[in-house]
Amino acid sequence: MKLSRRAFMAASAATLVTGRARAAQPIKIGVLTDLAGPYADDSGKGSVVMAKLAIEDFRKMNAGLDVELISADFSDKPDVAANLAAQWYDREGVDLIIDVPVSSAALAVANVAKQKDKVAIFNAGSSALTGAHCTPNTAHWAFDTYGLASTTGRAVVEAGGKTWFFIQANYAFGASLVEDASSVIEASGGKVLGTVKYPFPETSDYASFLLQAQSSGAEVIGFASAGADSSNLIKQSSEFGLANGKVKLAALLCFIPQIHALGLQASKGLLVSEAFYWDLNDGTRALAERYAPQVGGAKPCTIQAGCYSGVLHYLKAAAALGVDNAKKSGAAVVAKMKEMPTDDLAFGKGRLREDGRKIHDMYLFEVKAPEESKKPWDYYRYLKTVSGEKAFRPLAAGKCPIVKA
C-alpha cells in the first residue's frame, strides 16, 4: 500500500520524535556508598567523584550517550542497602549500582540486582561475591579478601619472609583472610607458626596479642583485620617497637587513607597490598591530579579507583550493546562486559572473568619512612607485582553456580 506524501511525512516525523525520545533516555548510575561512616575515607565522596571522572572520560569516546549520576548513603546496613537498591531500580530508573563497600550489604544488593535484572558492581571484600553468591547481574571489581591475602602472602614469601604469625579478628572476615593467606604462604614454601584471635569488636588494647606474636619468633606478623582495628594494631605495633627491621608487619587489608591518618612515623615499614596506587604510573597520576581538587587535595584509593574503572567499563559495554538493550537487561550488559577486555587509567589492561571477578594486577608496597617521602601522599615504595591471574582465586575453586564445569 502506498502512503500519501502527507501520511509519509507524518509517519517520518513520528519516527524522529520517537528516536529522539529514546536517545534522550539516559543511562542512570547510582553510587551506593558510605558518606559519613567508618568507610567514608575509603569510598564516600571519593567514589562519587571517581564515577563522575569515568563519565567524563566516556563522553570523550561517545558524546551521544546521555548518563545521569546519583548517590546515597546506605549507613553500612544491609537492609538499608537492599531497600535503596530496590527503590532505585524500580522507581528511579537506575540501571547500575556501584560501590557498596560492605560485604553483607553487597550480598544483599546482589540479590536485588538479580531479581530486577539490573547491574551491580561491588568494591566490597568478600570473595563469596564471585563464589557461592555470584550472579549473572553482578561484578566484583577492585579487590577481594583472597586477592589481598594471596598477594601479600605470595610476594612476601618470595622476598624471603618464610615464617608467619597472624593476629586475627575473631569473626568470619578475619578467618577468611587468615585461611586465604595461609594456603598461599604454605604453597609458596612458607610456614604459619600460629594465630591468635582477638575478640571483635570489644578489643582496643592489643598489647597481649602483639607480645604473643613477637614471642613466636616469626619473621612476619600479619594483621587479619580491617578499619579501626587495623589502624590500632599498626599504631600499637609502632609504640611497642615491633617494626624494628627484624620483624616485618603485613596488613592484609589496609588502604592509603588509613596510612594518611596514622602518619608515616607510626606506619613506616608496613607491608600492604593494593590494586591501585595514585603514584604508580602516568595514568594513575593523571587520574589523581583531576581527583584531588574535588576532595581537598586527597588522593584516591583502591575502592575509589574501582568506581572509576567499573563505571567506565559498564558504559563501554552499554554503548556496544545499545542503550535500549542495555536498559532492558542487566544480565545482557554484564555478559557484554565479560566479552570486552578492560583497559583504563586506574588498573590498566584486564578482563572480567566468567564468575564476575575483575582480573587485574595486584601490587605489594612498603610504607616509606617520613624522611623518604618527597611530596604529599608520597607514602608507598613499590616492591612487587603479582599478576591478576595469580593473585585472585582460581575460577574452579570459587564454585560459582553460573560457571560451566
For 57-98, the DSSP string reads: HHHHH-TTS-EEEEEEE-TT-HHHHHHHHHHIIIII---EEE
Hey, is 339 helix, strand or coil? helix
pLDDT < 50 positions in the chain: 1-23
Nearest to 223 by CA among 293, 174, 278: 174
- The CA distance from 246 to 333, in Å, is 51
Cβ burial, residue 396 (10 Å; 0-12/13-18/19+): exposed
Sheet with strand 380-386: strands edge to edge: 191-198, 163-169, 220-224, 248-251, 271-274, 362-367, 380-386
Strand pairing class (248-251; 96-99): unpaired
Cβ burial, residue 9 (10 Å; 0-12/13-18/19+): exposed
What is the pLDDT at residue 25? 85
What is the pLDDT at residue 24? 53
What is the pLDDT at residue 6? 42
What is the pLDDT at residue 9? 40
Q: With b meaning 16 or more CB within 10 Å and e meaning fewer, what string describes 326-360?
A: bbebbbbbbbbbbeeebebbbbbebbbbbbbbbbb
What is the pLDDT at residue 228? 84
**Stated length of the chain:** 405
Q: Please report where in the chains the cell 581537598 appears, as a residue.
A: 296
Classify domain 21-143+281-360 by CATH architecture: 3-Layer(aba) Sandwich (3.40)
- E strand segments, 143-286: 163-169, 191-198, 220-224, 248-251, 271-274
What is the pLDDT at residue 11? 41
Tell me where in the chain the CATH 3.40.50.2300 domain(s) lie: 21-143+281-360, 146-274+361-391
Phi, psi dihedral angles at 374 (to 5 degrees): -105, -10
Phi, psi dihedral angles at 22 (to 5 degrees): -65, -45
Superfamily (CATH) of domain 146-274+361-391: Response regulator (3.40.50.2300)
The per-residue pLDDT for range 388-404, each reduced to its tens digit, is 999 999 999 999 999 98
Q: What residues are paired with 192 via a beta bridge?
A: 164
Nearest to 264 by CA among 376, 370, 374, 381: 370
Residue type, 318: A
The per-residue pLDDT for range 137-170, each reduced to its tens digit, is 999 999 999 999 999 999 999 989 999 999 999 9
Hey, is 150 helix, strand or coil? helix
What is the pLDDT at residue 353? 98
To 5 degrees, how large is the angle CA 315–CA 321–CA 324?
90
Chain centroid to CA 252: 14
